Structures are given as structure tokens and as C-alpha cells.
Amino acid sequence: MSAHQKNTELIKTEAKRLGFLSCGISKAEFLEEEAPRLEKWLRNNMNGEMQYMENNFDKRLDPTKLVEGSKSVISLLLNYYPEEKQLDGTYKISKYAYGQDYHYVIKTKLKQLQEFISEEIGEVNGRAFVDSAPVLDKAWAAKSGLGWIGKHSNLLTQQVGSFYFIAELIIDLELEYDSRVTDHCGTCTACLDACPTKAIVAPYVVDGSKCISYFTIELKNELPAEFHGKFDDWMFGCDVCQDVCPWNRFSKPHQEPLFDPKPELLSMTKKDWEEITEEVFRKVFQKSAVKRTKFSGLTRNIDFLKK
Ligand code: SF4
Ligand code: SF4
């Protein structure tokens, strides 16, 4: 067994032990296939007000420009599919935001993986990324064989669907590289048909500026009147295209206690949400990613839904 193979095996085994669903590795190089797609998407203003997506165009496509001397991109998936869901018929938040903010939970695990690499393999330089603008995490995960990018533009696997976070370690160590898996969307169009705002404008093309996730989380201004009544009761994010995807029948509940929701989150009715106070907000979303919208953002969304 070569040193590359041995190190690759060590890293993948440790990633599993740390609780990651899977780990795939690619050579750190310019993302040739992704470049024209990203350029076209930005040219058509599908990023809406998400200006940060236009920044660092070169760095986003080439990890060696982002992390000097980098050789490998290690992609990792962490399951967030919850065992219990919110009440039926209430205002909804995306399942990824049920528990504690994933940025911190995953960063801790990535740090542990980096420490393991330093101890077992030697001094390795690199950087960890969690849902961070300069890294095209879905493209890297797909290149590393962790799944394919579905027509709803999320990473998708036959084994566990799509309810997981994607994170990366970009390091200056050469490893064994994985190859892509095939696309299994076939003739299915369930996500395109179900999207409440018709944001999936064509297979594999999501107009971010029409997506409920963008409206409820990213958009700072008033919500656009023409979308009134089209949010399907989503007050933070939206899971519709993933919920209807047949591959998500294979989602299994996560085993990460930090992703468990506060009990109040599961029991609040529409009326409770409409009457939410800042104090309740702070309690229910303590350490949660929902804090990103602040109390004012969430109540703006709820007001838009109840009108
Ligand atoms: S998250 Fe919701 S609004 Fe956005 S593309 Fe999917 S179904 Fe459409
Ligand atoms: S719903 Fe169907 S088309 Fe959409 S991502 Fe899933 S399998 Fe692909």
C-alpha cells in the first residue's frame, strides 16, 4: 500500500469515527466544469442580493488560490435529518436549523480531524470551510464521488438522500482521489413540480433570487408582494424540493444531540408563532442558525405569511 493510500484510509476512517456520514477526496485544482455554469448563473442575476457570490470568482473556482500550496480537497457530509418534526400545519423552519448552529458543531469536528492528521501523518497545513462562500461545496462533494447534484441543485445520494451539511478541509497533502458517481434523477421532475415559487427554472438550475430560502433568510428588504401566498408557510428556509425527492425516503435520523431542537420548537402552533416575543425567540433559538435573521427578520416573515 502506498503512503497516499495509507493516509487516505486513515483520514476516511477517522472521519467516520467523528460522526461524518461520508468523506470523499479530490485533487485541489481549477473546477473546469463548474466555471461556465457559475458565470452564467451570476450573469443572469440568479444570486439576487447575495452579492458575496460574485466576489472572489477565481478563488471560488481554484482552491490553490484560496489555500496556498493546497493539494487535496477533503469533502465531508454530516447528517442533520431529524427524528421528530414540527407540528403539522404550523409555520415551518428548514430542518437544518432545528438544533445548534451547524457552523460551530462542524468546525469542532473539522478541527479534531485536522489534529488527527497532524498527529498521525505529520505537519499538514490547511483550512477548514463550512458552508462558506469561497468554496463551491456541492461541486467538490460531487467531484469526490459523495453524490450527484440533483435537479434541485442539492447534493444527492442513493443511500441517504440529501439532508446533510457539506464541509471541506483543504490541505497541502497529496492523497488518493475519488471519482464521480452517476446521476440518478432520471425522468423524475418532482422537485421542479413542487417548488412553491417555481424557483427551479430548469432541471439543475435554481434561480436563487426566487427561492424561499433566499427570501426568508438572505433578503434584507421587504418581501416582494408578488410572492404573497406562495411561501407554503415557510418562515425560515424551505425544504419542499428535498421533502418531495424520492431519494429522501432513505434519510435516516442523525445521531448528533447538538442538532436536537428545543421542545418548544416542535410544539409551537401558528398562533404561538404569531405571538412570539423576543424572550421566547431567544430561548427557542439559543445558539441556533435562525438567529441570523434576528427576531425582526423572523417576525417580518411570519407577518408576511399571516397576511
Ligand atoms: S428550497 Fe423551496 S423555494 Fe427553493 S428551490 Fe427548493 S422548493 Fe423551491
Ligand atoms: S426530486 Fe427527482 S428530479 Fe428532483 S432531485 Fe430528487 S430525484 Fe432528482
Answer yes or no: do 56 and 163 share one domain: yes
Answer yes or no: do 265 and 152 share one domain: no
Confidence of residue 47 (pLDDT cuts 50, 70, 90): confident
pLDDT at 32: 87
Answer yes or no: do 209 and 113 share one domain: no
Answer yes or no: do 71 and 26 share one domain: yes
Q: Which of 141, 178, 186, 188 shows the shortest CA–CA distance to 162?
A: 141
Nearest atom in ligand 2 to 154's CA: 5
pLDDT at 113: 97
Ligand nearest to the CA of 200: 1
Cell of 196: 412553491
Answer yes or no: do 19 and 122 share one domain: yes
pLDDT at 34 over 90: no
255 located within any domain: no
Task: Return the percentage of the chain with pLDDT > 90, whole number.
Answer: 85
**Domain boundary residue among 112, 144, 171?**
171
| Contact indicator for 138, 162 with CB cutoff of 8 Å | no
pLDDT at 51 over 80: no
178 located within any domain: no
254 located within any domain: no
Confidence of residue 59 (pLDDT cuts 50, 70, 90): confident
Q: Is 151 in the pocket of ligand 2 (CB under 6 A)?
A: yes
pLDDT at 52 over 80: no
**Choice among 58, 62, 131, 272 that is catalytic:** 131
What is the average per-residue pLDDT within 274-291? 95
177 located within any domain: no
- Cα-based torsion angle of the residue sequence 226, 53, 236, 205 in order, rounded to the nearest 10 degrees: 60
245 located within any domain: yes
Answer yes or no: do 64 and 212 share one domain: no
pLDDT at 54 over 90: no
Answer yes or no: do 216 and 266 share one domain: yes
**Domain boundary residue among 116, 136, 171?**
171
Cα separation, 143 vs 129, whole angstroms: 17
67 located within any domain: yes
Cα separation, 96 vs 103, whole angstroms: 11
Q: Which of 225, 151, 177 shows the shortest CA–CA distance to 71?
A: 177
Cα separation, 187 vs 235, whole angstroms: 31
Write out pLDDT tens, residues 100-118. Answer: 999 999 999 999 999 999 9
Least confident of 44-58, 109-123, 159-173, 235-249: 44-58
pLDDT at 71 over 90: yes
The DSSP symbol for 211 reads -
Answer yes or no: do 31 and 77 share one domain: yes
What is the average per-residue pLDDT within 124-129? 94
* Overall number of domains in the chain: 2
What is the average per-residue pLDDT within 272-297? 95
Phi, psi of 114 (to 5 degrees): -65, -40
Confidence of residue 290 (pLDDT cuts 50, 70, 90): very high
Cβ-in-10-Å burial (0-12, 13-18, 19+) of 48 comes to middle
Nearest atom in ligand 1 to 212's CA: 3
| Contact indicator for 61, 30 with CB cutoff of 8 Å | yes
**Domain boundary residue among 171, 201, 236?**
171
Q: Which residue matches cell numbers 456520514?
A: 21
Least confident of 1-15, 43-57, 291-305: 43-57
241 located within any domain: yes
Q: Is 155 annotated as a binding residue?
A: yes
Cα separation, 219 vs 212, whole angstroms: 10
pLDDT at 248 over 80: yes
Confidence of residue 226 (pLDDT cuts 50, 70, 90): very high
Region of residue 232 (phi > 0: left; psi between -120 and 50: alpha; otherwise: beta): left
280: Cβ contacts below 8 Å, ≥ 6 apart: 264
240 located within any domain: yes
Global pTM? 0.94
pLDDT at 157 over 90: yes
Q: What is the CATH number of the domain that holds 130?
A: 3.40.109
Cα separation, 32 vs 77, whole angstroms: 23
Answer yes or no: do 132 and 218 share one domain: no
Q: Who lines ligand 1 at CB under 6 A?
A: 152, 195-197, 199-200, 206, 211-213, 238, 240-241
Cell of 68: 496556498
pLDDT at 50 over 90: no
Answer yes or no: do 227 and 118 share one domain: no
pLDDT at 56: 75
Cα separation, 273 vs 128, whole angstroms: 36
Q: What is the residue-averaged pLDDT of the chain? A: 94
Ligand nearest to the CA of 190: 2
pLDDT at 264: 94
Answer yes or no: do 23 and 152 share one domain: yes
Phi, psi of 128 (to 5 degrees): -105, 140
Cell of 228: 404573497
Write out pLDDT tens, residues 172-190. Answer: 999 999 999 999 999 999 9
Distance of alpha carbon 37 from the chain centroid: 19
Residue 293 sits in which domain range? Answer: 190-249+261-306
Answer yes or no: do 213 and 155 share one domain: no
